Amino acid sequence: MSEQQQDRQQDLHLHEEDQARADFYALFARLLLAPPDAALLAALAHADPIAASGEFALEDAWLALTQAAGVVDARAAADEFDLLFVSTGTPLLNPYGSFYLTGHLNDVPLAELRRDMAVLGLARAPGSGEFEDHLGAVCETMRVLIQGGPGAMPRPLPAQKAFFETHVRPWYAACLADIAGAEASNFHRVVARVVDAFLSIEAQAFAVLDPLDPALDPLTGQPRLPRADLRHALPASSPDVPADTTLTA
C-alpha cells in the first residue's frame, strides 16, 4: 500500500470522540427500539464507568444504567418494554417525533424527516417495524451520519447538526421525560435518563458549532433547493408490533 493510500485509509477512520458518539447512539437505538436481551444486560453490567470531562449528569446516569442492568433480568425488561411501548390498541407511550411535535402520529414531521433522509441517501430498510421518527430510529440515523455504513459515508458536523437540530432536539427531552415519569417504568427510567444526559451534551456542542452559509443546504453543503409541500406525502398506515429499525443507503 502506498503512502498516499495509507493516508486516505487513515482519513476514513473516525476520531476517538466521534467513535464514542457513534457507539452511544448505537446503544441507545438498541435500547429504545427493543428490550435488552441477557447478553446486552450482562455487557452493560460489566461496563466500565465513563469519564465525560466533567459532564457529571452523564457519568452518574451511566453508572445507574450499569447498576440497573446488573439486577434486572431480561424477561422483566421485556415485559416492561411491552407494557410501555407495545399494545394492540394505543400504547402507553408513543416515542415518535410527529406525536411530540404535532400531537398526531405519522404527520408532517415524518414526511420532512423522510425528505431529509432521502437527501442524505438514507431510507428505512424494507421490513423494518418502526417509522423513521421513532426516537430509537433517529438515534440510529445519527450513528450513520457520524460513522457511515454500507453505501453511506460519514457526514460532516454541519450535516449532523442540521439533522439533530431539526429532527431530534425539538422533542427528545419531552419524550424521555415521559418515559422516565411513567409509573410502569423502572429499567427504562434509567435508560431515559442516560439518553437524555447524552443528548443534552450533543445539543450543547452543536449550539456552539459555527453555522453554514444560510444560502447553502446544511445537509449537503450545496445551494438550497425549493422545499415541496409535504402535507400530502404522509403514510397511509402505521406498522404493527415494533421491531428493530435499520437503514439502507
| Residue 242: predicted pLDDT | 34
201 vs 245: CA distance, rounded Å? 24
All three cell numbers of 101, joined, read 411535535
For position 96, what pLDDT does the model report?
98
Residues 6+ apart with CB under 8 A from 99: 105
- 224-230 contact pairs (CB < 8 A, 24+): 227/115, 228/115, 230/108, 230/111, 230/112, 230/115
Residues 223, 27: Cα–Cα separation, whole Å? 35
Which residues, listed in sequence order, are joined to residue 152 by a DSSP beta bridge? 149
Per-block mean pLDDT, blocks of 10 residues, the chain (249 long): 40 80 98 98 96 85 98 98 90 97 97 97 90 98 96 94 97 98 98 98 92 65 49 35 50
- The DSSP bridge pattern shows strands 123-124 and 247-248 to be antiparallel
37, three cell numbers:
436481551
Q: State phi, psi for 248 to the nearest 5 degrees.
A: -120, 150
Q: What is the pTM of this model?
A: 0.83
Q: What is the dihedral of CA 195, 192, 177, 200, to 10 degrees?
A: -10
Q: How far is CA 105 from CA 23, 111, 182, 183, in A?
A: 29, 11, 20, 23
How long, in residues, is the chain?
Answer: 249
Cell numbers that stand for 133 in this block? 421518527
